[in-house]
Chains A and B, each alone.
Chain A
Amino acid sequence: MIPSAFDYARPSTVQEAVRILSEAGEDAKVLAGGQSLIPVLRLRLAAPSLLVDLGGIAELRGVSESGDELVIGAMTRHADILRDPLVARYAPLLAQATATVADRQVRHLGTIGGSLSHADPAGDLPSVSLALDAVMTIAGPAGERSVPASEFFVDYLTTAMQPGEVLVAVRVPKREGWGTHYEKFNRVAQAWALVGVAAAVRRENGSIAEARVALTNMGTTPLRATAVEQALAGALASADAIASAAASAAEGTSPSSDVSASAEYRTHLAKVLTRRAVAAAGGIDAA
């Protein structure tokens, strides 16, 4: 009902947040929208001594353009992403996946930065950030640093961020001329994904020039389906070529067996969903 006791701080600038976090050390937790963290605290899976609420830092909210990138503030809420014109134009994959996150109530509080920092492999946005080659801007005691999504997710619920660091923004390359699609399989609407697949495809003439494919919940972190990407690069934009490439979607993955699904079934889903996601992203009739 009520998590274990902790102190609560609500800084108004990133610098202040970093200072508070640095002083508190490993016992501090960052509170973004709280939609993942508060359940964790309530189940006593974490017992921080200090919660640092980023909700008072105005600079962390909003989407802007910077050259050929979108810069999305870490505290931008899912609901804001869904109605943002820049996201709709340059990163529709993000909007599509965000629309499948939990339910409307949760999307009104949950933030993109919170989802990524929580690093739940069953979350939808970590794999999307991989597929989009997003780069995380992280603030810490020594200033800001950039970490690509491919290096950001380290392990189950673990990122490359150190104690004292805060995710400030997600930088997403503008992907004009790419087709994208997110496939999410869950047994009940609004539940976590058993498996999800984020795909981005750039076509040239009758071929697939490049593809990015990332998997939700096929291991302890979101994973790039690199074998699929390699097989697709330069392949014909045909249903057969996609099916053949998708057959290797589960290569290098280590899905879990749990109350929701077996590892074998997740492997099966990854292949089917990859085929469907790539076909949809590439505008190719998969039937």
Chain B
Amino acid sequence: MRITVTVNGQQRQADHVWAGESLLYLLRERLGLPGAKNACEQGECGSCTVYLDGEPVCACLVAAGQVQGRSVTTVEGLAAQRVQQAFLEAGAVQCGFCTPGLIIAVHDLLARTPRPGDAEVREALAGNLCRCTGYEKILDAVRLAASR
């Protein structure tokens, strides 16, 4: 089937999409946007987190058909760089596979809660697994971004 979806502000179209493909596959393999990552494809790890109509979702748990006519923002399309810069400065990036999903999740958290406490940060990021950092520097990054 044909899918028409607004991605990072641009209307995009993909043809011959299998109904069973996920938004993640659509983005990565058909629209050339590999920023959202394919770590578990079961909705457990959050590495594929993207905005769908302004809300963070796991792109692997969205069927391609469900995004027809809707709006998606991926890490590649985030205009503001405050969160990204804080991740760099705080040393919150190691292998970086979880990073795009975390950037979206933190971006969303700070949009809702500009100065979150640690418990709020942990609750908000509980759906994003990281295997390298032990999360400590990710918390540092969120605190740093929130302070700016």
Chains A and B touch (C-beta atoms under 8 A apart): yes
Q: Which residues of A contact B (CB under 8 A)?
A: 1-8, 10, 31, 34-35, 38-39, 41-42, 51, 53, 55, 79, 102-106, 108-109, 189-190
Least CB distance, B56 to chain A, in whole angstroms: 5
A–B Cβ pairs within 8 angstroms, 7 of them? A2-B18, A34-B62, A34-B66, A35-B43, A105-B43, A105-B61, A109-B62
Contact of B63 among A38, A104, A106, A189 (CB under 8 A): A38
Chain B residue numbers with a CB within 8 Å of A10 are: 65, 68
Contacts A5-B18, A51-B19, A105-B57 given; indicate if A189 touches B126 (C-beta within 8 A).
yes
* B76 at interface, CB cutoff 8 A: no
Chain A residue numbers with a CB within 8 Å of B46 are: 103, 105
B61 with A38: CB separation less than 8 A = yes
B22 with A190: CB separation less than 8 A = no
B68 with A105: CB separation less than 8 A = no
Closest 3 CB pairs of A and B: A103-B127, A8-B19, A3-B20
Q: Which residues of B contact A (CB under 8 A)?
A: 1, 18-22, 25, 38, 41-43, 46, 49, 52, 55-58, 60-63, 65-66, 68, 105, 108, 124, 126-127
B19 with A7: CB separation less than 8 A = yes
Contacts A7-B19, A51-B19, A51-B63 given; indicate if A190 touches B126 (C-beta within 8 A).
yes
Most buried by B among A2, A38, A104, A108: A104
A42 with B57: CB separation less than 8 A = no
Most buried by B among A7, A31, A55, A108: A108
- Further pairs besides A106-B58, A108-B55, A190-B126: 6, Cβ < 8 Å: A6-B19, A42-B41, A51-B65, A106-B127, A108-B52, A109-B58
A38 with B55: CB separation less than 8 A = no
Contact of A79 among B55, B61, B63, B66 (CB under 8 A): B55
**Docked pose: A106 CA to B127 CA in angstroms:** 9
Contacts A2-B25, A34-B62, A38-B63 given; indicate if A102 touches B1 (C-beta within 8 A).
no
